[in-house]
Structure formats: C-alpha cells, structure tokens
Amino acid sequence: MGKRNRNKQRNQDKNGNPAGRSRDDAGWGAGYTEINKENKLFEQYYQELKIVPEGEWEQFMEALREPLPATIRITGYKSHAKEILHCLKEKYFKEIQDLEVDGQKLEAPQALSWYPDELAWHTNMSRKILRKSPLLEKFHQFLVSETESGNISRQEAVSMIPPLLLKIEPHHKILDMCAAPGSKTAQLIEMLHSDMDVPFPEGFVIANDVDNKRCYLLVHQAKRLNSPCIMVVNHDASSIPRLQIECGGKKDILFYDRILCDVPCSGDGTMRKNIDVWKKWSTSNSLQLHGLQLRIAVRGVEQLAVGGRMVYSTCSLNPVEDEAVIASLLEKSEGALELADASSDLPGLKWMPGMTSWKVMTRAGEWYADWSEVPQSRHTQIRPTMFPPADAEKLKAMNLERCMRILPHHQNTGGFFVAVLVKKDPMPWNRRFPKLRGKAAEAVGAAEEIPAETADEGGEAAAEDKPKDLEDSQESSVKKDGVCGPPPSKKMKLFGFKEDPFVFLSEDDPVFSPIQKFYNLSPTFPKFNVLTRTHEGKKRHLYMVSKELRNVLLNNSERMKVINTGVKVWSRNNDGEQFGCAFRLAQEGIYTLFPYINARIINISVEDIKVLLTQENPFLSKLENEAHEQAKKLSMGSLVLRYQPDTQNAASPQCPIELCGWRGKTSIRAFVPKNERFHYLRMLGVEVFREKIRGGPVDGKTAGEPEIGEPGEMPTVEDSGEVECEGDKGAEAKPEAPELDGEEVMEAEDSPAECTAENNEKVVTPETV
C-alpha cells in the first residue's frame, strides 16, 4: 500500500476541495465551500488598538471583504512608456468603458492620483473577469504580452509606494533586502534608468532573497527590464554579508545610498486577495515575526551610508510589526537614525499617521500595556521591544507619527505600513569599537583590510571577521535590552543550483578583435565590463554589467552567492565567422550596446517595421527605398534596424526603436522575441490577436472556443498567467532551465536556427487573416 500524501490531505477541506480557496477563484466549481470572511479575534484586537478612525470601522471591514481592484503600472524608465500610456487610454480603456460582464458594470480605469505621470492605473475588474470574458480578451492578451515584454507590471497599488519614497537617482547604490517576487525591484531599476541616453548609470541594484527558488522568480522579473545594473543574490537578509569595493587602489567597505527593507510579515493587510488570512490570523504571527523583522532592519541600517535613506515596509497593520520595530531601531541608534517626514512626497495619497501608543495581546486574548506586566512564563514569546518606549520624552522625540499606515477603505487598496529612515551618523556599535574593528581587519590579511578612516565613519568588519571580544561587547550592550545588534558570524550555506562562474574578459581577449571590426565599436566601449559564464571552451554568450557592479563582483566572489547579473549583448553563431564575426547581437542588450555601434545600421520606417515583424523572412525588396539601398550595401550577418521618430507625423511613434536583425543573401529578418514583436506592432497601431484552430472539438469543447491557456490555440501569444504581487510571499518559483551546452546552428542560407525556433511564430494581424 502506497504512502498517503498527508500534505495533500491537509490542504483540502472535508469536501476534498483545496483549503483556503474561495468560490470566486477561477477554475473551482459549485461543490466548493465559501470562505467565511470573519475573524472575531482580529476585530477585537484592532478595535481595542483604535487603528481605524472613530466612525469608520464598518467601512474598514466592508472594504476588507471586497475583492482587491486590479492595478497595473507602466514601466517608467523606457522611452516607450508614453506610447504605451497613449495606447491604453485611447484604445483599450475606451473599448471597455461602460461594458457589462455577467451583470456587472465595468467602470473606466482610473489613474492612481499619487503615482507620477499617470503611469499607474486601477480598475474594478477582477482577475476572473479579465481572463474569462470574450469582451475583454484583447485587453487581457495585451496585458499578458506587455507584461512579458517588461512594459507593464501588474502590481498591487500599495506595493508601489516604498520605491517612490526612496527618491532614487541614477548614481545611487541600492540594496533590496527581501526582494522576491520583484515588482518593487523592477521599480528601482526603472528609476536608475530614468535617463535613457545613459546606457550605464553609475548606480546599481543588488536584489536579495533568502529563498533560492524565489530568487529565480526575481531573476525573471529583472530580466524583463534588460538592465546591466542589477544583481540577484541569495542570502539571509538578517546576516547579509558586508561587501567590499576597490576605491583609489584600496579596498573599501560598500555602503548603500538607498535600502529597501520590505520584511516578511503576517500580511493582514492582504486579506482582500489572500483570503487564507481570514481564518489563519492570530496575534501570535506578529509576535513570532517581530524579532526577525528587527534583525533585518538592524542589518539594513548597518549597511546604509551616512546621509542615506532606508524605507521599512510591511503589508501588516499590526504595530508590533510596524511602529514597535521602528521605535526599537530609533532607540538603539542613539540619534544616528531619524524618521523622515514623507507627508508631502506623494500628493494625493491618503494615509494615517503612525501610532504612539499600543498594547500587546497574546493568542489567548490577554493584554499587556507594558513590559513590566508580562509574567516570566511569557518572556520567550513577548519581548520588551514590542512595547512603546516608557520614557515619554524619548517617545516624543522619535516622531512616530511620521510613519504612514494605509487603510483599505480610504482609497480602495490593500493595507500597508511604511516608514522612511535617514541615517545621520554611524550606528553606535560602529562608533564604540573602531580599534577592535581595525584588529579584525588585520586578522583577515591585507586583502581584507578595512581602512581606519572608513571604520571611523561607520564601517564595521564583516560579521564573519569580527573578533570574539567585539562580538561579546556588542551582545552585552545590545542584546541585554532585547534588540539584536550586528548578527553573529555565520558560515555561508549554499542551497539550490550551483551557478556558473562570472568570468570577465581581458581587454586583449581574441574575441574582441572581430567584434570591434564588424560593428565598428566606439573607442569608449567598456570592454572590461564584458563577461561570460564559463572558464573553458568557446564562449557562447557575452554579457555586460555596469562599472560599479563589475567592482562588486571582482572583490566579493567568496563573500556572496550570486544568482544572476548582467544583460546579454552577443550570442555565438556556429558559422558566423564566414560573415566576419562569430557573434550576433542580442535584442535583450541592444539598448545598452547601441550607443557604441557605428556600423551595420539600417534606418527603417514605420512600414518597414510592419513588414519585418509580420512576415517571416521578407525579401530585401519588401523594404522601402532608403532601407533597401542601405541593406544592399551590407554583407550578410547581424545588424541593427533603427527607427527614428518623425516629429512631423504625430500619428507615428515618438520614441526611437532599435531592433536586432539579420541580413541574408536575398532576405532580411528581425531577430526579436515574439512578445516584443507584439509590443512594437501595437505601438504602430496594428491589431494583433490569437488565431484559434478551426476544426474538431478540443478537450470536449466546441471547435474555435477554447479558453485562454487551454489547448486549441495557435502559439501566437503565450498566456503567462498573472505576475505575483508583493503580498504573495511564500509562493514557489521554478528555477529557469540551464542553457544548453550545444552551440547554435546556422541555417543553410540566411539566419540562425534559433531565430526560427524561438521568435518566428506566425503573427496574426488583420492583413494576414
């Protein structure tokens, strides 16, 4: 007899249906039990704390029981953002306005009043309506396709707030401590690239997550943005290692200008979409998470540069996870940290000021207003840092009212908490032991030396390098009051897949000479920033990272576990050398690489783009005269297809477009992934949609009527599903399959086989039907 799957049983209700799923969730039938959106302990707790203004409790609870509106964000750093916005407002939003689906009237989508430049929108359409209604099929396909291309992100409204409050500038070094699934990370990357004329911003984003599998979800999100300034790492945020960089020929400690500290939380602000919280909510969740949240926040401010800015956020409404963590952090900083007043940073956003008084309740319903009231038997569950400071003057000086709590009923959102901290001085434990830190640096050798001036300015030896007397001193001065200081030393544990090494190419690497000549690269091209992922054999792909990320990689190979970094700029073609260069351009990195390319460029028109993106392998003669003449002068091989905006024609796209192409003997083709093809065609006003197979029934359904994501559709647009929102922490992400070791095969006449296999599925337009 086989073993019973206990996990499967445990995740089902008595009727065999998946526990925690509501009847509203797509795909579940009538035999399903409704989730009871009631929790008396939850109501008792927050009514006692007076977290909601007087007279608004019923509105608050009604909002929590309503489904969360769908919200989308247009990626703001790309020059195409305005074109996407124009397409949404003038086409899709007008088409769905005042539609009725299943008796429900759809309201016109509204721009979030507090998000800059109308780049974020919300609507009352649920996921089920979007996915199942034939009237909204084109809109849903548009969202799926543009999400895959990185031009739109589906993200909860309140999740967009923390990156905005960080006030990112292109030169900032940024750490995202608990980054997966990555929608906030994507915002940070966008802000770094606010100036598209700068291919390599000085700053970078290091995105970290403790879960190895979720790191690959993070990689997927980041890859959509094709940035050379992002690195994904896998560490416990509470003990993330101190990194080093080289500055002026000497080793220095890396301090971050901006840190996003979006910690794991109980998530009661996500009740509108995570309905499991209704039955699972308990005060013990917050009591158990408080210590971890505080350790992560402490580790964050340690690595923050003086003058830097850290945003602490949770999707919890509980002051034990919110104000209590901030108050403890401020108290132990001894004036090194200050709560910033962010009240005017997001005009139009409604929020409640932070609380200055709260109590702690056990799961059994016992209340404690002060640490002195907690019996000895509860000291392992309830800690002194969970209470407000007893000293009234100290409490007033903290300005906890500057914290921001977003309540669901105020602007039809989820619940959220956010606080902005500014670092004015080094943390006190960094100031107390500079000499001991110097000894720690000497102990690990010259390569690990920490300059004395850096230590005095707030640096500390890496956790694993601290001498024991320093650790003991810190523990006695910090942990005695219940707040963890610098984390104890931990040996880095490696889980999951073993990543290939990152190998930077030398300036005289033989791979550069043919590339330099073929594409006539500018002398300013940063060869030192090119890397590959193998020590041996032929280099299959070449990637690029920014100068500062190169610095981090070279000086910390043994300190951190890097999952992914860089953007692909070239890929090898087996027989490419016969055309003059063994490497073709990669679309992912074209916007990074194009400023340095001075040859093999064809200027194309709007009509040329339509031909190249809708026809599989058009003859050169299909191009308009100017592009045709330029193409005839070029030899076979990889090239750039460039569109320059026509300011005299307002109906045409008003942003530059660069596409990778391939010049064959008699033909030319665009080397562009299918979702990006759809993106550019929509920008040109061409309608693209799925072609359905006509014929016999598919899975018992009438021919021609398959549902989205089911068999029976031509593979014109892949239904990628919904991109996870920030509140969905804990979902597993499958790691990307490793790239094959085999080399790409050149087709007999014109182009790499990869182009046909990956990118040239039939694009369905009104002209081709």
Residue 474 token pair? 């810190």
Give the contacts of 139 (CB within 8 A, at least 6 positions apart). Answer: 92, 95, 96, 130
Which candidate in 229, 315, 403, 484 is catalytic?
315
Question: DSSP readout, 707-759?
Answer: PTTSTTB-TTS----PPPPTT-TT---PPPPPPPSSPP-B-SSSSBHHIIIII
Residue 178 annotated among the catalytic residues of the structure: no
* Helix (H) or strand (E) run with residue 82 in it: helix 81-87
Largest CA distance in the chain: 86
CB 565 within 8 A of CB 230: yes
Contacts of 95 (CB under 8 A, 6+ apart): 138, 139
Here the tokens at position 67 are 């489904």
Q: What's the distance, CA 6 to chain centroid?
A: 34
Could you tell me if residue 696 is left (phi over 0), alpha (psi between -120 and 50 degrees) or otherwise beta?
beta
Closest CA to 420 of 437, 401, 435: 401
CA distances from 410 to 52, 64, 344 (A): 10, 11, 17
358 contacts 49 by C-beta, under 8 angstroms: yes
Residue 537 is encoded by which pair of tokens? 């054999």
Sign of CA dihedral 346, 348, 349, 354: positive
For residues 209 and 735, is the Cβ–Cβ distance under 8 A? Answer: no
DSSP letter at 91 equals I
Determine phi and psi for 258, rounding to 5 degrees. -140, 140
CB 96 within 8 Å of CB 139: yes
Active site residues per annotation: 315
